[in-house]
């Protein structure tokens, strides 16, 4: 697996994104939220794989009207069918704006054929990276936004805002961005600049853990990841407000109407396939848990905490583990009963997962796809615990696992 961070750095450093030179107003746009960009990139990968060609050319309509996009877009974004005439204008922006961003970034090649924009993938590795996880999308997006602002000579205004974090610096930044955009692009209205401004400042604010913008004003709180998304509640934000003495299951039930379960199914399927590829590449397809049932290929990707019980963590790589069919249906699910979990074996799987995470983080030759912070979050959700994640290291994770299962056994 190539070093994706190096690939991204090389891409960004090899391009001049100065809007004063390009006069391109569509380097980012209103529909360019993290989850929409992530989904469009996933549709691109599916399209080129379906056609067995990384070099195939495609238009916005090819992605828009693909079977894969039609299958998922209704369920994920609460939108009408992609073939609905009533949603034509909305879908035009939904697919075209992320494609324009990716083309300006240099990840896609763009050319005109009549009145139609035709695209071709220039870097499958980066498109695939963006499509894997929304946090990867956010990582790429923040790096890209920062580079555009620097190349355009206006990043210092954003730096001043993130340093002072007050209303004066906020409105100065917003006004400067608006004037800059109107002066250097074909955009002529303040209101359109304001819509784009939100998509520029909030990803940077999230990355820096700073205040950003909400409803046109300085936000009253630190920008969360959920605020970078199109239309979803975020389970981490919901869980963070849970009162003490109320279980996570009870608390999440109160929000079940707000949470789109189809989203978790989609992300879970993606994560399973990505981990299968990763395990084959890095571990030669062998089980992550070496025990007497671990001989042979690890063809099964197992949810340590079951998907149907814990949909909110079903897509976390830290909750997925590559094991053999025997391990899966004999030990993880005793007697081939997928509704049952052997807690002792679950603990062993988590310990093995912690080792896999440690190996991944310490291996400079592969992309880092895990974090111990996420592992502790998974354990907190799966075991209804409140362990602190500030340690974010192997020793802390192992102590958390041991304590979570020892305490539960003592309660029995």
- Are 160 and 252 contained in the same domain? no
Stated pTM of the model: 0.84
74, 153: one domain: yes
Higher pLDDT, 402 or 260: 402
DSSP state of 87: G
Q: Are residues 198 and 251 in the same domain?
A: no
232 CB contacts (<8 Å, ≥6 apart)? Answer: 35, 226, 259, 260, 263
Nearest partner of 371 among 379, 106, 167, 219, judged by Cα: 379
Range of the domain at 20: 4-208
DSSP characters for 142-164? HHHHHHHHHHTT-HHHHHHHHHH
The CA distance from 174 to 354, in Å, is 44
**What DSSP string runs through 6-45?**
HHHHHHHHT----HHHH--GGGS-TT--HHHHHHHHHHHH
Residues 179 and 81 in one domain: yes
pLDDT band at 244 (very low <50, low <70, confident <90, very high): low
Q: Quick: pLDDT tens for 147-181.
A: 999 999 999 999 999 999 999 999 999 999 999 99
Q: Answer whether residue 229 is part of any domain.
A: no
Q: In terms of domains, do 250 and 326 share one?
A: yes
Asked whether the predicted pLDDT for residue 372 surpasses 60, the reply is yes
Residue pLDDT, tens place only, 296-335? 999 999 999 999 889 889 999 999 999 999 999 999 999 8
- What does the pLDDT look like over 5-18, one tens digit per residue? 889 999 999 999 99
198 within a domain of the structure (yes/no) = yes
**End position of a domain, from candidates 150, 184, 208:** 208
Instruction: Give the span between the Cα atoms of 41 and 84, in whole angstroms.
Output: 22
pLDDT of residue 228 exceeding 80, the answer is: yes
Count other C-beta atoms under 10 Å from residue 408's C-beta.
14
In whole angstroms, what is the distance from residue 331 CA to residue 293 CA? 8
Provide the Cα torsion 227, 233, 235, 240; round to 10°: 70
67 and 47 in contact (C-beta within 8 Å)? no
The C-alpha atoms of residue 188 and residue 111 are separated, in whole angstroms, by 25
- pLDDT value of position 269: 93
Sign of the torsion formed by the C-alpha atoms of 370, 265, 199 and 128: positive
Mean pLDDT over 186-205 rounds to 97
| Domain annotation covers residue 215 | no
**pLDDT-derived band at 71, boundaries 50, 70, 90:** confident
- Separation CA 51–CA 67 (nearest Å): 12
Residues 151, 62 share a domain: yes
pLDDT band at 412 (very low <50, low <70, confident <90, very high): very low
Of the candidates 208, 226, 251, which is a domain's last residue? 208
Yes or no: say if 367 and 4 are a contact pair by the CB < 8 Å rule: yes
Residues 334 and 191 in one domain: no
In angstroms, rounded to a whole number, what is the distance separating the alpha carbons of residues 385 and 46? 38
| Residue 121: φ, ψ to 5° | -70, 125
How long is the chain?
A: 412
Residues 58 and 126 in one domain: yes
Q: To 5 degrees, how large is the angle CA 169–CA 171–CA 176?
A: 95
Q: Are residues 199 and 341 in the same domain?
A: no
d(CA 400, CA 248): 18
Q: 295 and 198: one domain? A: no
Does 402 reside within a domain? yes
pLDDT above 90: residue 360: yes
Give the contacts of 280 (CB within 8 A, at least 6 positions apart): none
In a domain, 224, yes or no: no
Residue at a domain's end among 208, 224, 259: 208
Using a pLDDT cut of 90, give the percent of the chain over it.
77
| C-alpha torsion angle, residues 274, 279, 284, 286 (rounded to 10) | -130
Look up residue 286 and give its DSSP letter: B
Confidence band for 241, pLDDT divided at 50, 70 and 90: low
User: Is 165 part of any domain?
Assistant: yes
CA angle 322, 327, 329 (to 5 degrees): 110
Identify whether residues 262 and 115 lie together within a single domain.
no
Say how far apart CA 224 and CA 158 lie, in whole Å.
18
Is position 228 within any domain? Answer: no
Do 170 and 25 share a structural domain?
Answer: yes
Question: Is 213 domain-assigned?
Answer: no
Count of structural domains within the chain: 2
Q: What is the pLDDT confidence band of residue 48, given thresholds at 50, 70 and 90?
A: very high
């Amino acid at each position: 697996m190539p070093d994706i961070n190096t690939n991204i750095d090389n891409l960004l450093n090899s391009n001049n994104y100065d809007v004063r030179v390009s006069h391109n107003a569509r380097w980012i746009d209103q529909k360019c939220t993290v989850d929409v960009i992530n989904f469009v990139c996933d549709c691109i990968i599916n399209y080129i794989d379906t056609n067995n060609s990384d070099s195939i050319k495609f238009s916005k309509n090819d992605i828009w009207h693909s079977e894969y996009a039609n299958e998922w877009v209704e369920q994920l974004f609460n939108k009408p069918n992609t073939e609905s005439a009533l949603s034509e204008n909305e879908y035009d922006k939904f697919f075209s704006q992320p494609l324009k961003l990716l083309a300006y970034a240099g990840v896609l090649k763009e050319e005109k054929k009549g009145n139609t924009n035709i695209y071709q993938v220039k870097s499958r590795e980066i498109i695939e990276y963006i499509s894997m996880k929304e946090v990867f999308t956010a990582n790429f997006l923040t790096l890209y936004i920062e580079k555009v602002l620097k190349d355009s000579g206006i990043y210092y205004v954003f730096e001043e805002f993130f340093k002072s974090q007050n209303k004066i610096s906020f409105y100065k930044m917003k006004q400067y961005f608006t004037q800059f955009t109107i002066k250097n692009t074909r955009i002529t209205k303040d209101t359109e600049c304001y819509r784009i401004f939100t998509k520029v400042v909030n990803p940077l604010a999230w990355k820096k853990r700073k205040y950003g913008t909400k409803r046109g004003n300085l936000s009253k709180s630190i920008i969360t990841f959920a605020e970078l998304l199109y239309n979803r509640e975020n389970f981490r934000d919901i869980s963070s407000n849970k009162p003490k003495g109320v279980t996570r299951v009870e608390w999440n039930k109160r929000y079940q109407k707000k949470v789109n379960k189809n989203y978790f199914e989609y992300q879970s399927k993606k994560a399973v396939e990505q981990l299968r590829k990763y395990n084959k590449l890095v571990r030669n397809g062998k089980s992550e848990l070496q025990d007497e049932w671990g001989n042979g290929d690890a063809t099964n990707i197992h949810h340590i905490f079951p998907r149907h019980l814990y949909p909110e963590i079903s897509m976390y790589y830290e909750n997925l583990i590559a094991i053999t069919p025997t391990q899966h249906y004999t030990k993880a699910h005793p007697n081939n009963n997928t509704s049952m979990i052997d807690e002792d074996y679950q603990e062993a799987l988590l310990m093995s997962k912690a080792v896999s995470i440690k190996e991944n983080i310490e291996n400079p030759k592969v992309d880092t796809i895990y974090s111990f912070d996420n592992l502790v979050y998974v354990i907190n959700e799966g075991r209804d615990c409140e362990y602190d994640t500030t340690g974010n290291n192997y020793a802390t994770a192992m102590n958390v696992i041991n304590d979570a299962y020892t305490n539960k056994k003592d309660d029995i």
